[in-house]
Amino acid sequence: MDTQNPSAPPRAQSRTAGKIHPRQTEEGPQPNRDRYRAPHGKTPGGVIHDNARHTTRFTVIGNHLAQHPELSLLAIGLATHIQSLPTGAPADIKSLAARFPEGPARIAAALRELEAHGYLRRTRERVPGGRIVTRTVSCNKPGHHGTTTEADTPRKPARRTSPDERPPRKRLPAVPQPAYSSPDLLATAVDVLAGLRRRDPRLLLSETDAEHLAPGVVAWLERDIAATAVRHALTADLPDEPLHRPAALLAHRLATQLPPLPPFREPSPAPTVVYRMHNCDGCDRGFRSPTPGLCRDCGAALSTTS
């Protein structure tokens, strides 16, 4: 009964603590596994990876994105989706909202997160024909062209920039100038610009922007364009993308969509007043006058004798 079976396999030896798993060869160490390794002798309660090597249709995503400490889960997932798209695929808010159940507002907020951390760059360019399109550039590793971002380097206290060191603000496009200055029209123009944010919150203007745009609105008003029509022309068919410089867009519309001057109208002649006939009290001759009395000759003779 106590005879040993020489063909039985020996007991498997437990893994020595600190040893690297044999499967970790050319892929290098896997810090996410080593960091969350369960204590010796205890069953891990966290994630267990059942991985297979991809050979087609895969996208490499860095842990600096997948485990970003500040990005929201929606932003991380959206960046992963955009990095997997082929070149030229649409990545605007409207297309992404049609693809995913999240609404345009949440998708726009996630895109702003990615822009703030360097994973996305969006610029507006004019294409042949005058149409303005948005170019989206996806960065799978921000800072790989020589600059660094928060995802790659430790945090450092931000140094406050003095006003002299700030880059000069890009000037706004020129707006049409009115033919004459009218305080009433200028006040109406300021009211039109201040009310644009009620049509679209993205059209919130600073006082400096309103001062630059107001003469252009006056140029519209003096062309017999109603304030409501000006407001509609400035807010109709706005792009779905975020407006980085709303004042520049409004200045462009004021200049390119300026209506023509109204046709010149000749002033109508003043009506001729015809007075009724009266008999002169001095010579009994008839004359026209707004009131009865003396004719012109009798009136002149009376003034001479007196």
Phi, psi torsion values for 160, nearest 5 degrees: -70, 130
> Distance from first CA to last CA of the chain, Å, rounded?
169
Model pTM score: 0.36
Tokens for 301?
């003779």
Q: What is the DSSP string of 244-265?
A: S-HHHHHHHHHHHTPPPPPPP-
* pLDDT per residue rounded down to tens, the chain (306 residues): 454 445 444 544 444 444 444 444 444 444 444 455 555 555 567 889 888 988 888 888 899 999 999 999 999 999 999 999 998 888 888 889 999 999 999 999 999 999 899 898 888 778 777 787 778 888 988 877 544 444 444 444 555 555 555 566 678 889 999 888 788 899 999 999 999 999 899 999 998 999 999 999 999 999 889 999 999 999 999 988 888 889 999 999 999 999 988 776 655 666 677 778 888 887 888 888 888 888 888 888 777 776
Do 92 and 81 touch, CB atoms closer than 8 A? no
Element housing 219 (H / E)? helix 207-221
Q: What gap in Å lies between CA 71 and CA 225, rounded to an integer?
A: 47
